[in-house]
A = this chain, B = another copy of it.
Amino acid sequence: MKARIIVTLKTGVLDPQGKAIESALKSFGIDDVGSVRQGKVFDVEIAATDGTDAEATLKAACEKLLANTVVENYAIEIV
């Protein structure tokens, strides 16, 4: 079973990397881009055959390692 986890910064948390990308895009002549926020994506292959089990495992993975839940949100999609 395959899953995709998307980790993004919570709203209100400063994102200097996103700001840097924004100004780099402007310097490349791509002007109509407003705010940019960068996050992480993890494509995971998981042994569980049951969707609920897989989701529980991935939730544990996010809480323990993949996301810093103080400043980040995560979303799990089974694909």
Contact = CB atoms under 8 A, between A and B. Distances in A.
Interface in A8-53: 8, 18, 21, 24-25, 28, 30, 32-48
Nearest to A25: B61
A76 interface: no
Interface residues of A, number: 31
A41 B44 contact: no
A72 to B, nearest CB: 12
A38 B42 contact: yes
Contact of A8 (B34, B37, B43): B43
Interface of A: 6, 8, 18, 21, 24-25, 28, 30, 32-48, 57, 60-61, 64-66
